[in-house]
Amino acid sequence: MDQHIPVTVLDDLSAGHAGSVSGADLVIGDMGDEALLDRLFGQHAFDAVMHFASFIQVGESIGAPAKYFHNNVSKTINLLNSMARHDVKNFIFSSTAAIFGNPQAGHIDEHHVKAPINPYGRSKLIVEQMLPDYEAAYGIRHACLRYFNAAGAHPDGSLGERHDPETHLIPLAISAALGNTGGLKVFGDDYPTHDGTCIRDYVHVCDLASAHLLALQHLRAQGESLKLNLGNGEGYSVKQILDAVAALVGKPVPHTVAGRRAGDPAVLVADSRKARDVLGWQPAYSSLDDIVGHALRFYQATPMASAH
Ligand SMILES: NC(=O)c1ccc[n+]([C@@H]2O[C@H](COP(=O)([O-])OP(=O)(O)OC[C@H]3O[C@@H](n4cnc5c(N)ncnc54)[C@H](O)[C@@H]3O)[C@@H](O)[C@H]2O)c1
C-alpha cells in the first residue's frame, strides 16, 4: 500500500494541537465553513475525506445536545454537501461503540441493535444513517469505523492523546501514577465481572490508523460501503489497566472507588471479525503492555500532556 499519501488536515484546533500535525498541510478552520470547504475542494483534487472532527465528551453531550448535534451532525452535512458539489467520492467516518448503547451480547458485532443512550452516540448514529442516502444520490461511498476505546500512542512516544479535560482511563491512570494529578476515581467495583470493575476494549491508535488506510484502499478499489466495529476483541478491566500502569511506571496508581456511573455497562467488547475478514485488518498492538507502554512513553516524553 502506498503509505505516502499527500494529506491536508482541516482542524479548528478547538481541541486539537497544531504541533501534532507533521508530514501534512494544516489548514486551521471549521468543517462547517462551506466557503472554506469549497475553496479547499476546488484547490486540491482530493479523492477521499477521513472525518475525525467531532466533539467527544459523552457527559457534556447530555447537558448540551445542541452543541453536539450542531458540530457533529449539522457541520458534517456541510462537509458532505461540499464533497457532493466537488465530486469527492470516498468518505471514512470516525464512528463509535456509543451508537450501540447498552450491550445485549458479550461481543458486539455489526448487527447489534443501535440504541445510543446519549446525544454523543446519537450524533454519530445520525451521520451513519444519512450516508446511504448520500451514496444513492451523489455516489459518495463510505466506511464507518466504530472505534471502541482508542488508546496507546505512537510506539516511539512522539505522538499521543492530549485531551483537556482528559476523560480516558489510561492517560488518567498514568498521570496519577506519575504524580502529575491526584488520584483517580474508579466508578464501581461491584459489577458482575471477574474483579468487579468494568471491562472495556482498548484498541491501539496505530491499529486504528492501519484500519483507515485499509478502508481507503478498499473504497479506492470500488469496494462497497462498510460499517465496521474496531476493537481488540479482548476486554480488560479497570483494575487490570491500573495494575498494568503500576507495573510499567513502577508505582501504584492512587485511586478511590466511587459509585457506579449511570449508563456504564459492565462489559463493552467488540467483535471485529468483519474488519479482519473484509479488510484483512490485523491489529499489531493488542497487548496491554504495548498499549499502556506506548502511552507511558508519550507522557514521559511530553510531560505537559499528562498534566491535564
Ligand atoms: N478516542 C476514542 O476513544 C474514540 C472512540 C470512538 C470514536 N472516536 C471518534 O474519533 C474521532 C477523534 O477522536 P479523538 O479522541 O481524537 O478526539 P479529539 O477531540 O482529540 O479530536 C477531534 C478533533 O476534531 C477537531 N474538531 C472538532 N470540531 C471541529 C470542527 N467543527 N471543525 C474542525 N475541527 C474540529 C478538534 O479540534 C480535534 O482536533 C472523533 O470523531 C471521535 O468521536 C474516538
Locus of grid cell 473484509: 278
Distances (CA, A) of 127 to 41, 64, 77, 96, 101: 21, 18, 8, 11, 16
- For 161-217, the pLDDT digits (tens) are 998 888 899 999 999 999 988 889 999 999 999 999 999 999 999 999 999 999 999
- Residue 263 pLDDT greater than 90, yes or no: no
Whether residue 3 is contained in a domain is answered as: no
Gap between the Cα atoms of 171 and 158, Å rounded: 15
* Of 120, 191, 202, 236, catalytic: 120
Gap between the Cα atoms of 107 and 104, Å rounded: 9
Structure confidence at residue 302 (pLDDT): 84
Structure confidence at residue 165 (pLDDT): 87
User: To test the ligand 1 pocket, which listed residue (13, 20, 50, 52) has its Cβ within 8 A of the most ligand atoms?
Assistant: 52
User: To test the ligand 1 pocket, which listed residue (9, 12, 30, 56) has its Cβ within 8 A of the most ligand atoms?
Assistant: 56
Gap between the Cα atoms of 47 and 88, Å rounded: 5
Active site annotation includes 68: no
User: Residue 234 class from Cβ within 10 Å (0-12 exposed, 13-18 middle, 19+ buried)?
Assistant: middle
Number of structural domains in the chain: 1
Give residue 45's domain range. Answer: 8-307
**Which ligand 1 atom is the nearest neighbour of the CA of 97?**
6
- Residue 308 pLDDT greater than 50, yes or no: no
Structure confidence at residue 251 (pLDDT): 95
- For 220-230, the pLDDT digits (tens) are 999 999 999 99
Gap between the Cα atoms of 93 and 227, Å rounded: 9
Whether residue 120 is contained in a domain is answered as: yes
Locus of grid cell 466537488: 86
Residue 274 neighbours by CB distance under 10 Å = 18
CATH number for the domain spanning 179: value is: 3.40.50.720
- The pTM for the full model equals 0.95
Q: What is the phi/psi pair of residue 133, to 5°?
A: -70, -35
Gap between the Cα atoms of 300 and 85, Å rounded: 45
Whether residue 2 is contained in a domain is answered as: no
Whether residue 262 is contained in a domain is answered as: yes
Q: How far is the CA of 73 from the centre of ligand 1 (A)?
A: 13
Nearest CA to ligand 1 atom 43: 56
At residue 194, what is the residue type? Answer: H
Structure confidence at residue 303 (pLDDT): 63
What is the mean predicted confidence (pLDDT) over 93-101?
A: 96
Residue 152 neighbours by CB distance under 10 Å = 25
